[in-house]
Amino acid sequence: KAKTYYNDDADLNYLSDKTVAIIGYGSQGHAHALNLKESGIDVVVGLREDSSSREDARKAGLNVLPTAEAAEAGDIVMILIPDQHQADVYKKEIQPNLTEGNVLAFAHGFNIHFGQIEPDPDVDVFMVAPKSPGHLVRRVYKKGSGVPCLIAIEQDYTGTARETALAYTKALGGTRAGVLETTFEEETETDLFGEQAVLCGGASELVKQGFEVLVEAGYQPEIAYFECLHELKLIVDLMYEGGIERMYYSVSDTAEYGGLTRGTRVVDSSTKERMKAILKEVQDHTFADEWIQENKDGLPRLKSLRSDLSKHKIETVGRELRSMMDWIDEDDEEVVETAAE
Ligand code: NDP
Ligand code: MG
Ligand code: MG
Pocket lining: 134 vs ligand 1, CB cutoff 6 Å: yes
pLDDT for 135 equals 96
pLDDT per residue of the chain (341 residues) written in tens, 0 to 9 = 889 999 999 999 999 999 999 999 999 999 999 999 999 999 999 999 999 999 999 999 999 999 999 999 999 999 999 999 999 999 999 999 999 999 999 999 999 999 999 999 999 999 999 999 999 999 999 999 999 999 999 999 999 999 999 999 999 999 999 999 999 999 999 999 999 999 999 999 999 999 999 999 999 999 999 999 999 999 999 999 999 999 999 999 999 999 999 999 999 999 999 999 999 999 999 999 999 999 999 999 999 999 999 999 999 999 999 999 888 876 655 454 444 33
Pocket lining: 28 vs ligand 1, CB cutoff 6 Å: yes
> Is residue 320 a known part of a binding site?
no
> Is residue 145 a known part of a binding site?
no
> Is residue 25 a known part of a binding site?
yes
With b meaning 16 or more CB within 10 Å and e meaning fewer, what string describes 285-303?
A: eebbeebbeeeeeeeeeee
Q: For residue 29, how far is its CA from the centre of ligand 3 (angstroms)?
A: 16
Q: For residue 133, how far is its CA from the centre of ligand 1 (angstroms)?
A: 11
Pocket lining: 53 vs ligand 1, CB cutoff 6 Å: yes
Rounded Cα–Cα distance for residues 169 and 191 (Å)? 19
pLDDT tens digit string along 252-281? 999 999 999 999 999 999 999 999 999 999
Asked whether the ipTM of the predicted complex exceeds the cut of 0.95, the reply is yes
pLDDT for 332 equals 57
Distances (CA, A) of 107 to 95, 238, 308, 313: 18, 28, 31, 36
321 contacts: CB under 8 Å, gap ≥ 6: 222, 225, 226, 230
Active site residue 108: yes
Say if strands 76-79 and 19-23 run parallel, antiparallel, or are unpaired. parallel
Pocket lining: 202 vs ligand 1, CB cutoff 6 Å: no
**Which is the catalytic residue, given 30, 32, 108, 113?**
108
pLDDT for 285 equals 97
DSSP 105-129: EESSSHHHHTTS----TTSEEEEEE
Domain 4-182 has CATH 3.40.50.720: yes
Instruction: Identify which of 30, 80, 113, 182 to mutate to test ligand 1's pocket (most ligand atoms within 8 A of the CB).
Output: 80
Q: 161-172 vs 27-38: helix axis angle to the nearest 10?
A: 90
Nearest one of 205, 153, 199, 161 to 180, comparing CA atoms: 153
> Is residue 55 a known part of a binding site?
no
Instruction: Identify which of 27, 47, 77, 188 to mutate to test ligand 1's pocket (most ligand atoms within 8 A of the CB).
Output: 27
Kindly list the domain boundaries of the chain, sorted by start residue. 4-182, 191-340
Ligand 1 atom with the shortest distance to the CA of 81? 7
Q: What is the pTM of this model?
A: 0.93
Pocket lining: 314 vs ligand 1, CB cutoff 6 Å: no
Residue 329: CB atoms within 10 A of its CB come to 11
Specify the long-range contacts of residues 14-19, CB closer than 8 Å, at least 24 apart.
Answer: 14/160, 14/163, 14/164, 14/166, 14/167, 15/41, 15/76, 15/164, 15/167, 15/168, 15/171, 18/42, 18/75, 18/76, 18/164, 19/43, 19/44, 19/73, 19/74, 19/75, 19/76
Rounded Cα–Cα distance for residues 173 and 275 (Å)? 34
Say whether 27 sits in a helix, a strand or coil.
Answer: helix
